[in-house]
Structure 1
Amino acid sequence: MLLAIIAACEIGFWVLLAAGLATRYLLRWNRVSAVLLVSVPLLDVVLLTATVIDLRGGATAGFAHGLSAAYLGYSVAFGHSWVRWADERFAHRFAGGPPPKGKPRYAPERTRYEWREFGKAAIAWAIGCGVLLGMIAMVGDADRTEALLGWALRLTTILAIWSLWPITHTLWPARPKGHGDPTDHGDGGGDGRDAAATSGRGGSRW
């Protein structure tokens, strides 16, 4: 059931986001759009509440409980970036907005970009591990929460791997060939979800 709630929250995020942007740029219903977009973070509250209720009901923590903590962390840390990513593309497509910028290709802009993304990942790690520790303390039974410690290790490993990107771009910064523009941007979106999909790094929304 908890896995189904996680999936429903992810689907609900994109549905509310799409509806919020559609009402803003297509229908010009700014107030309705604001209500829909403000409702997006409430999905995280729903997931956290469901997780707490399940554990307090006597459930033994498993994969789904750890996943919910990780999901909450990345949702909070990357959520705003994901909304901005979608908003830029929606505005360009339907409201004559400027073309969306991708992530920078060259230093020093690319280096700063990678460190900003790592900062978000660190926030996601801190929130996720904080939620995990909160669950452990709430249950107060080591046998029922053993799986949550494993999730804390997973999140730490992900963060350690993620740190390789900014370190690499700091030590070996990419430079344009010839007279290329160092502020040139690629075509791909510069948000945490794209990075997660292409490099294995986790992903949120706020």
Structure 2
Amino acid sequence: MNFIAWIIVACEIGFWVVIAAGLITRYIFNKKRLGLFFLALTPVIDLLLLIVTANDLYNGATATQVHAIAAIYLGVSIAFGKSMIRWADERFLYYIKKQEPKPVRKHGLAYAKHSMKGSLQHVLAFIIGGAFLYLMIYLIDDPSKTEALSGMLKVWALILGIDFLISVSYFIWPRPQKTG
């Protein structure tokens, strides 16, 4: 595994460490502002990842799929960050603090709308991450060195299309309510 891949792993671990630190600080130590500070560090970690990746490419590395993942990771983190933190908040309060009602499993039209909201967030992630991919491709200005970046952009566009089809399918064939 190359250096950038290890940085991605470290950033993913760092992401969940600051989420956990933020939740523990907010709900165990009742330090709301400090907890918010930790939670706000998540995009900083992603930006650090992108800077390291860009620096590697700037210093002459040929772009790989791992480099592309850094841009995708940043886009996904920005687009889904708030909802991921909300998701973690709900589960932390329920499973750790035993304060909230159990998170409700959506079904029917509510689930279809939730799924479509996720697809729209995916579009935002694609716009953000894709912009960084295009920027790296533009700045490197050597198609032989950026082939992996443009290839990953095409794969991501295909995945985005599949995501939308799945979300639309829930409006046609709603998710049934789970019994028992």
User: Structure 1 residue 10: deviation in Å?
Assistant: 0.5
Q: If each structure's helix is expressed as a fraction of its own residues, which one has the higher value?
A: 2
Deviations 1:160-182 (A, max 9, x none): 11112221112233466xxxxxx
Structure 1 residue ranges (4+ consecutive) displaced by more than 4 angstroms after TM superposition: none
CA positional deviation for 1:100: 4.0
**Mapped partners of 2:55, 2:179: distance in 1:** 45
TM-score by length of 2: 0.90
1:141 paired to 2:142: yes
Unpaired segments of 5 or more residues in structure 2?
none
Q: In 2 relative to 1, CA 112–56 (structure 1 residues): closer, same or farther, beyond 3 Å?
A: same
Question: Taking structure 1 as reference, are residues 186 and 49 closer, same or farther at Cα in structure 2, changes over 3 Å only?
Answer: farther
1:158-173 to 2 correspondence within 5 Å?
Answer: 158-173=159-174
Select which of 14, 31, 34 maps to 1:32.
Answer: 34
- Tell me how far 1:109 sits from its aligned partner: 1.1
The percent identity for this pair of structures is 37
1:72/1:186 CA distance change after superposition, 3 Å: farther
Preserved contact between residue 102 and residue 186 of structure 1 (Cα < 8 Å): no
Shift of 1:18: 0.6
Secondary structure in 1 matching 2:60: coil
- C-alpha change, 1:105 and 1:51, in structure 2 (3 Å) is same
Q: Is the CA contact (8 Å cut-off) linking 2:63 and 2:146 kept in structure 1?
A: yes
Cα deviation, residue 96, structure 1: 4.5
Could you tell me which residue of structure 2 aligns to residue 70 of structure 1? 72
What are the equivalent positions in structure 2 for 1:33-182 lying under 5 Å apart?
A: 33-106=35-108, 108-174=109-175
Aligned letter for 1:156?
A: A
- Please tell me whether the aligned partners of residues 137 and 149 of structure 2 are also in contact (alpha carbons under 8 angstroms): yes
Matched, 1:9 2:19: no
Aligned residues: 178
Preserved CA contact (<8 Å) 1:19 1:36: yes
Contact 2:75–2:126 (8 Å) recurs in 1: yes
Q: 1:60 and 1:87 mapped to 2: Cα distance?
A: 40
